[in-house]
């Protein structure tokens, strides 16, 4: 069984987290844990409503809970996906500042050479953002900007964001059900 940590930060784009969690919930062979920053929860509730946040179907860990299993390299979580990822969280992770559970879990993924996928949601990017992304990529993370594809002619916001979520699932090594280029 695959064990995946999903991190949610305060960047706009809670729809990415919601769709990702829904698709992971539909899979039988995936165990998911969720950690959300305080700002991440605020943005999620603002963009999608409190009901959507309260309906997250997985175990949630407080961002200050360093007793969470994925806070240690001895855990058996093999992937962490941070969606959406703010530039502040990205900077803390890139520079090894593990002051909360989300950053610590990302640090564990990097130090153990496990999969860390960071779905960035910011534009435009300044030089500091770019350097932090480079540093994180050099450390082994996968940077996956939340850039929807349009060759499938998505008719709704959900269809557009689904192109990113399907790509993230593919990067995580999970089969995804979306249209691929050339199909």
Indicate the pLDDT class of residue 179, thresholds 50, 70 and 90: low
pLDDT of residue 176: 72
Q: What is the pTM of this model?
A: 0.96
- Determine the pLDDT at residue 181: 66
Model confidence at 183: pLDDT above 80? no
* Pick from 53, 72, 97: nearest CA to 5: 72
Bond prior to 50 in cis (omega within 30° of 0)? no
Instruction: Please say if the pLDDT value at position 180 is more than 70.
Output: no
Domains and CATH numbers, the chain: 2-171 (3.40.50.1950)
Query: In this predicted structure, what is the pLDDT of residue 178?
Result: 65
Q: Could you report the per-residue pLDDT of 139-171, keeping only the tens digit for each?
A: 999 999 999 999 889 999 999 999 999 999 999
- Give the pLDDT confidence of 98-153 residue by residue, as tens digits: 999 999 999 999 999 999 999 999 999 999 999 999 999 999 999 999 999 998 89
Across residues 78-87, what is the average pLDDT? 98
Cα torsion through 149, 129, 88, 46, rounded to 10: -30
pLDDT reported for residue 8: 98
């Amino acid at each position: 069984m695959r064990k995946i940590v999903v991190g949610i930060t305060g960047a706009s784009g809670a729809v990415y987290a919601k769709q990702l969690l829904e698709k992971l919930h539909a899979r039988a062979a995936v165990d998911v844990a969720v950690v959300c920053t305080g700002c991440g929860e605020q943005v999620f509730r603002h963009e999608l409503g409190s009901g959507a946040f309260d309906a997250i179907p997985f175990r949630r860990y407080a961002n200050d809970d360093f007793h969470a299993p994925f806070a240690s390299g001895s855990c058996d979580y093999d992937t962490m996906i941070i969606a959406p990822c703010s530039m502040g969280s990205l900077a803390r992770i890139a520079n090894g500042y593990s002051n909360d559970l989300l950053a610590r879990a990302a640090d564990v993924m990097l130090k153990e050479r496990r999969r860390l996928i960071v779905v960035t949601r910011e534009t435009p990017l300044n030089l500091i953002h770019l350097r932090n992304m480079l540093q994180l990529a050099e450390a082994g993370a996968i940077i996956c900007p939340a850039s929807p594809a349009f060759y499938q002619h998505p008719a709704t916001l959900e269809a557009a964001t689904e192109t990113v979520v399907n790509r993230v699932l593919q990067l995580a090594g999970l089969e995804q059900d979306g249209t691929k280029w050339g199909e």
